[in-house]
């Protein structure tokens, strides 16, 4: 029988035929795709003709087409709908793919051709985009060890292989802890919980096979539980389980993995000639050096900490007024903060949520994209890897732009968090290839027949991930290696965080924030109060984020700590972490940093990008038109369509005319002054 992953796909827009793919197909398909990629690369090095951009760089761009198709399909389902077979395949693929990557970058004949082109680049009559691709290709080889030889090259290969295994293990341990823990709630355990939380807990209990409602470690359930539960003992139990993910003694303990990962990253950097992993990692980012990252984070930390400490005093007074002695604890913060928000802004999450329906927020994101960029979205009948998934065709002026896939609900088979990925990226080298883009979220799934309701933070997450999706959809470059979100890590969050601002535009919410039962729009006074409270508790959220970013930086800016947990404690003590706030991601669950190299020494990038997104949206505010067509066109032409074809700072300067300072960020977070 023909392996469907290796066949031509006679499906709408050549989407993967998920219904005909079995888990048994992935292993043979990856092996076949790896062999095909090796054959393509061997053909490049065996070419007797002198290297040209076409027969070397463009051939290299095309060499892994089949591998990309197979892996794009596999990792889409492995991340969003895992099972034991897929987890085993991830563990099997990690060292194979690492070995293949090392084989490519250690291929002396291949690097010689690339380097020859780079050294003679001024004579090649390259376009700006081609020159950029050539530079990035050579730089990628060098940073992967192409100039190493002998024992150093062998050791680097082994280090990278082990790191790939550790990243997979870290992710799977975290998923196991999140999947296996839940806490049953009796009638008393439901005390204080609004109807929407009770309904979510019942749906979670049904999924877990429990006899009644439960709290799980899904953020979409545990956060509202911590906000509303009057049972302080249950809040503590749930919070401690949530923050202990990856640190439970036994086979899912991630602390040893974190220590080994940091040690190997440091060794990798030194093999490549860098003092620290931070020096290696930040070389290609906008920040450039560790001191620049630390300066930004500390500039934000000081006012954020002051705001959080002032808030903590107010919340602790409320705790004592309820008859509890002692200090405010981390499992108390959200509960009393919710009460205080209601007092200060007359806002009740339970009253707010019915106006933030998932389907209406999806419509809002689509409508903003239409008004800004002329995009249209139409649901289509297409292959899906899970029944919860929805698929849209994206068009502009009746021309196909992309396929957009939305997978919004939390489930035990899905890793936590929210992300955007492309099963297929935009490029023109092999024809006009349009992208297949996925947004994955973990919103609480409602009971059957009930609408899915979001918190305001959930709605922001939806807009955030859709901003990433627009970066992929509107990409307009020739080469896949610089397509879409293939940009500096501290630039990639700019489009996503910028798009969040359109959720705050009053006319958007006035149109799409309609009540789930009455279909009435959100009352104007409630809308004003909600937007007026947008910076409420910003000290807390900023402190938990910046603390995580500072710990990440400290892990990598120097020799590796023998005990990462001790290093984490030292950093938090040094910066004066408030007692009642913990890091957003403690080390054993810090998947951004330890599930792979993507955000390692790069968690700061959300804030680096926020400096730009606050300033970029200010451009629309300055002309008092969030949908100004000329400005939207410039945003698309400079940032959203360019991918990595131009240096990130040049792209931003082309849009805004200058680089920004931190002032707009502090003002936007309510921390200025």
Q: Which residues are catalytic?
A: 465
Within a 13 Å sphere around the CA of 668, how many CA atoms are in the beta-carbon half?
Answer: 23
> Tokens for 277?
């992993």
How many Å apart are CA 533 and CA 441, to the nearest integer? Answer: 24
Scanning the structure block, which residue is given the tokens 């602390």?
A: 255
> Tokens for 14?
């050549």
Within a 13 Å sphere around the CA of 416, how many CA atoms are in the beta-carbon half?
Answer: 26
**Pairing mode of beta strands 419-424, 399-409:** unpaired
How many Å apart are CA 479 and CA 383, to the nearest integer? Answer: 27
Helix/strand/coil for 382:
coil
How many Å apart are CA 24 and CA 442, to the nearest integer? Answer: 27
How many Å apart are CA 224 and CA 229, to the nearest integer? Answer: 8
How many Å apart are CA 623 and CA 25, to the nearest integer? Answer: 55
Scanning the structure block, which residue is given the tokens 């809040």?
A: 235
How many Å apart are CA 517 and CA 208, to the nearest integer? Answer: 28
Q: Specify the length of the chain in residues.
A: 673
Closest CA to 17 of 53, 69, 58, 52: 69
> Tokens for 448?
């059957």
How many Å apart are CA 585 and CA 247, to the nearest integer? Answer: 12
> Tokens for 17?
């035929």
**Pairing mode of beta strands 376-379, 390-396:** antiparallel
How many Å apart are CA 64 and CA 43, to the nearest integer? Answer: 13
- Residue 32, burial from CB neighbour count under 10 angstroms (0-12, 13-18, 19+): middle
Going from the C-alpha of 554 to that of each of 102, 126, 352, the distances in angstroms are 28, 41, 40
In 397-435 the beta strands, taken as DSSP E runs, fall at 399-409, 419-424
Scanning the structure block, which residue is given the tokens 């020739």?
A: 478
How many Å apart are CA 639 and CA 613, to the nearest integer? Answer: 12
DSSP secondary structure string, 476-529? --S-GGGSTT-S-HHHHHHHHHHHHGGGG-HHHHHHH-B-TTT-PBPPHHHHHH
């Amino acid at each position: 029988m023909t392996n469907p992953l290796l066949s031509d796909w006679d499906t709408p827009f050549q989407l993967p035929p998920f219904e005909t793919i079995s888990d048994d197909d992935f292993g043979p398909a990856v092996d076949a795709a790896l062999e095909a990629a090796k054959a393509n690369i061997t053909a490049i090095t065996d070419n007797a003709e002198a290297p040209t951009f076409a027969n070397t760089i463009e051939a290299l761009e095309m060499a892994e087409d089949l591998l990309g198709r197979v892996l794009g399909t596999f990792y889409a389902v492995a991340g969003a709908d895992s099972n034991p077979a897929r987890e085993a395949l991830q563990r099997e693929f990690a060292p194979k793919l690492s070995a293949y990557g090392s084989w490519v970058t250690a291929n002396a004949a291949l690097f010689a051709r690339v380097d020859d082109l780079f050294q003679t680049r001024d004579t090649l009559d390259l376009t700006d985009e081609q020159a950029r691709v050539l530079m990035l290709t050579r730089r990628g080889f060098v940073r992967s060890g192409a100039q190493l030889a002998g024992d150093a090259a062998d050791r680097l290969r082994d280090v990278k292989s082990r790191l790939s295994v550790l990243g997979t293990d870290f992710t799977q341990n975290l998923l196991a802890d999140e999947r296996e823990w839940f806490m049953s709630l009796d009638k008393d355990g439901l005390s204080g919980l609004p109807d929407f939380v009770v309904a979510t807990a019942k749906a979670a209990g049904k999924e877990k096979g429990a006899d009644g409602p439960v709290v799980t470690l899904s953020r979409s359930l545990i956060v509202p539980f911590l906000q509303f539960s009057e049972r302080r003992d249950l809040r503590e139990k749930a919070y401690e389980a949530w923050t202990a993910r990856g640190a439970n003694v036994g086979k899912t303990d991630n602390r040893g993995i974190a220590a080994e990962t940091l040690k190997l990253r440091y060794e990798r950097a030194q093999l490549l000639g860098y003092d620290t992993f931070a020096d290696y990692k930040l070389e290609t980012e906008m920040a450039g050096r560790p001191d620049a990252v630390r300066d930004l984070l500390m500039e934000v930390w000081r006012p954020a900490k002051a705001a959080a400490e002032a808030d903590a005093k107010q919340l602790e007074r409320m705790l004592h007024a309820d008859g509890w002695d002692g200090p405010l604890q981390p499992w108390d913060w959200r509960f009393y903060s919710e009460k205080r928000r209601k007092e200060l802004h007359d806002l009740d999450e339970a009253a707010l949520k019915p106006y933030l329906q998932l389907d209406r927020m999806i419509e809002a994101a689509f409508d903003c994209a239409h008004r800004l960029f002329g995009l249209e979205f139409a649901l289509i009948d297409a292959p899906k890897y899970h029944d919860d998934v929805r698929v849209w065709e994206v068009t502009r002026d009746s021309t196909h732009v992309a396929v957009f896939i939305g997978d919004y609900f939390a489930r035990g088979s899905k890793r936590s968090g929210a992300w955007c990925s492309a099963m297929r990226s935009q490029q023109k080298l092999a024809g006009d290839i349009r992208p297949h883009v996925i947004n994955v979220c973990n919103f609480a799934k409602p009971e059957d027949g009930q609408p899915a309701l979001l918190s305001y933070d959930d709605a922001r997450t939806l807009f955030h991930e859709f901003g990433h999706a627009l970066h992929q959809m509107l990409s307009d470059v020739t080469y896949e290696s610089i397509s879409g979100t293939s940009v500096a890590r501290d630039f990639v969050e700019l489009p996503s965080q910028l798009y969040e601002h359109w959720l705050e535009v009053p006319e958007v919410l006035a149109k799409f924030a309609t009540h789930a039962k009455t279909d009435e729009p959100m009352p104007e006074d409630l809308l004003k109060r909600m937007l007026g409270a947008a910076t409420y508790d910003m000290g807390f959220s900023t402190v938990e984020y910046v603390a995580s970013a500072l710990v990440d930086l400290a892990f990598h800016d120097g020799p590796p700590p023998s005990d990462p947990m001790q290093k984490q404690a030292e950093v938090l003590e040094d910066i004066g972490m408030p007692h009642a706030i913990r890091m957003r991601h403690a080390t054993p669950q810090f998947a951004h940093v330890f599930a792979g190299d993507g955000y390692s020494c790069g968690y700061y990038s959300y804030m680096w990008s926020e400096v730009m997104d606050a300033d970029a949206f200010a451009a629309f505010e300055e002309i008092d038109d969030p949908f100004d067509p000329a400005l939207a066109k410039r945003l698309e032409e400079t940032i959203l369509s360019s991918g990595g074809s131009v240096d990130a700072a040049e792209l931003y300067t082309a849009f805004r005319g200058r680089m920004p300072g931190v002032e707009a960020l502090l003002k936007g977070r309510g921390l200025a002054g």
